[in-house]
Structure 1
Amino acid sequence: MEFREDILGAPYEAAELPLRRDAEGEVSATLVRRLVPGSERAVLYVHGYNDYFFQTNLADHFTALGFSFYALDLRKYGRSLRPHQSPNFVRDLAEYDEEIDEAVRIVREVDGHRQLLLNGHSTGGLVGALWAGRRAGRGLVDGLFLNSPFLSMPTAPAVRTVGGPAVTAIARLSPTRVLPSSLNPHYTHSLHKDHKGEWDFDLTLKPAEGFPLFAGWLAAIHQGHRQVRRGLGIDVPVLLMASTASIATTKWHNALHHADGVLRADDIAAQGPRLGRHVTIVRIKGGMHDLVLSGEAARTQVFAELDRWLAAYLPVDETEAVGEHA
């Protein structure tokens, strides 16, 4: 493993993480990092669906607090997607455990950080929460920050009850069958500076129309949601943030700049207590789906709430403080 300058440029570095082959051939993930020299605190960010790491304002905030910043582009996403692969495709969300485990090993054992926060957005929030539940009791992470985690399908309960088993049956027979996608291109347009947003990112890695929606991937999401409803037993403090409002629209609407245009924020908040026994739920007025890319007032609130929670539940390691005063 070798870190080289990332596509974002210095001070970001990236390294390829080789993983076990699957039915499509060679597989790898990508670990991006921005180190804070001498820091023993770190955060590991996991992106959402149809996404990759580009949120440098998030990294700026964490590094200003003294955290080394790491981000994973999961297998078949963003920097890790290869021509022979079906974009974003897995048959079980537990497949991502391999790259998360390896990233955590590098952060802790190779780079020597003693305190680690796992930060997941949208599907990355679901993936990270499931991983943390499976790894409970091992002391691998000290807390979770979940930004609009994908804990529930943005449909009525009756539709989920019927749709989940149907998708699972299709996936069992034809996991790479392409299903009709409800991805709203206006959400990406609300973010990108060339459309109606303020952010710059690669539209080939995060296309507005998205990638094909595979039955196997959607079945894996339904399975993950069932696990959430049963309870995950995460044994570290969790900060869950969601917008105060959602919008479902197939046309452009200015409310996309002030609400979650992808998921149902109320449903996200309702599932929060099932994650573990120590969950803080914060609703962000005017928040977009990716809360850290919201308008200035909303993202200022996001970072203020994050700082307050970090001070309470992930303070500077006491052994560091002792060393400073010894």
Structure 2
Amino acid sequence: MARRLLFVYLLILTSVCLHAQYTPDVLGDDYLRRTFQMPDDYEGKVVCTLVKKPQLPDVKQAILYIHGYNDYFFQKQLGDSINAHGYNFYAMDLRKYGRSILPNQNPFFCKSLKEYFADIDTAIATIQAEGNDKILLMAHSTGGLITPYYLNSKKGNMPIDGLILNSPFLDWNFGWFMERIIIPTVSFIGKLFPNLTVQGYGNPNYSYSLLKQFKGEWEYDTNWKMIFGHPKKAGWIHAIQEAQQTIQKGIELDCPILIMSSNKSFPETKKWHNEYMTSDIVLNVQDIQKYGKGLGFHITQDTIQNGMHDLILSEKSSRNHVYRTVFDWMKGL
């Protein structure tokens, strides 16, 4: 009896300590956050940040969301919907993104996407320690490149039970000359001179299509998801190119994978077009569909009518399609 009471006491103490490491998040309501100190890198101090909703009673399954480039987790409707469908919800702001940006860092920069593997390992270990024995990964855009690249490194020891990809960044959205000549050249330079700036601030139209203050429906911190983006360096180009080349050869993951994209892309120019509200203006959806087929053995693909690049930020009927697709797919796991 004494041993049993000691075990119960230790279990309660562990639970209290785990919860105590979280603090209220900037999203408000019941969202919490926990910051992890990671080993220093070439820019100095590094952290990553796990955001979550409180555990559901007697629920041992969870979804971990990974954001895209120039991005962070702010999509409360996603977390709330996942909770409503019986999954615990977590989201990771990777190092140098969103809640994890530090003054000593160049936002969004990396020399290899492998730098994020430790962040995802940390998130998954924490989610498991909090009592979840079934974990799905959900990722958007660059997160949708990082996550299959990460899982490819875990073959034979797959830490998750399914992968959901929202417009994954599986290829550049440029013409033949850029993709075959310029990008490989810049990537090679990036190995030698990673801090060389190769692109300045970007076009704001995608931000305009999202933000409520312009033409969209959403509010978010534009210090973390910047309206004009952030200058890109050659080392980052190399990191993306390296991962895409691996993915495009076919990696054959053995977990179930759901891949979603808009039904159409539209070229972004400096001029505003209403088509920006109903198209992917960041990536080529045909590339997503083409290279998505090589990610694994159990692939489900769906195209979202009039979907934007971040499909869950599309207009209401399109994002409802996304949620139906995701939750119907999850029922089959």
TM-score, normalised via structure 2 length: 0.91
The CA deviation at 1:132 is: 1.3
Partner Cα separation in structure 2 for residue 266 and residue 254 of structure 1? 21
The CA deviation at 1:10 is: 3.0
What aligned pairs does 1:182-193 form with structure 2 within 5 A after superposition? 183-193=202-212
Does structure 2 retain, via aligned residues, the 8 Å contact 1:87–1:212? no
Partner Cα separation in structure 1 for residue 205 and residue 265 of structure 2? 14
Equivalent residue, structure 1, for 2:281: 261
The CA deviation at 1:138 is: 1.5
Equivalent residue, structure 1, for 2:111: 91
SS of 1:87's partner is coil
Partner Cα separation in structure 2 for residue 80 and residue 103 of structure 1? 14
Partner Cα separation in structure 1 for residue 183 and residue 238 of structure 2? 7
Task: State, as a whole percentage, how many aligned pairs show the same letter.
Answer: 40
What aligned pairs does 1:27-176 form with structure 2 within 5 A after superposition? 27-35=46-54, 36-108=56-128, 110-176=129-195
Does structure 1 retain, via aligned residues, the 8 Å contact 2:201–2:230? no
TM-score, normalised via structure 1 length: 0.93
SS of 1:140's partner is coil
- The answer to whether structure 1 residue 209 and structure 2 residue 228 are counterparts is yes
RMSD of aligned Cα (Å) = 1.2
Which segments of 5 or more consecutive residues in structure 2 lack a partner in the other structure? 1-17
Partner Cα separation in structure 2 for residue 228 and residue 139 of structure 1? 17
- The answer to whether structure 1 residue 221 and structure 2 residue 240 are counterparts is yes
SS of 1:236's partner is strand
Q: Which has the larger radius of gyration?
A: 2
Equivalent residue, structure 2, for 1:303: 323
Does structure 2 retain, via aligned residues, the 8 Å contact 1:89–1:217? yes
SS of 1:171's partner is helix
Equivalent residue, structure 2, for 1:238: 257
The CA deviation at 1:181 is: 4.5
Amino acid at match of 1:282: D
Provide the aligned length of Structure 1 versus Structure 2: 312
SS of 1:37's partner is coil
Partner Cα separation in structure 2 for residue 171 and residue 66 of structure 1? 44
Equivalent residue, structure 1, for 2:217: 198
The CA deviation at 1:247 is: 1.0
The CA deviation at 1:106 is: 0.4
Does structure 2 retain, via aligned residues, the 8 Å contact 1:41–1:115? yes
Equivalent residue, structure 1, for 2:28: 9
Partner Cα separation in structure 1 for residue 142 and residue 325 of structure 2? 22
Partner Cα separation in structure 2 for residue 28 and residue 153 of structure 1? 28
The CA deviation at 1:183 is: 3.6
Does structure 2 retain, via aligned residues, the 8 Å contact 1:147–1:240? yes
Structure 2 vs 1, CA of residues 226 and 181 (structure 1 numbering), >3 Å: closer, same or farther? farther
Equivalent residue, structure 2, for 1:284: 304
Equivalent residue, structure 1, for 2:10: none
SS of 2:235's partner is helix
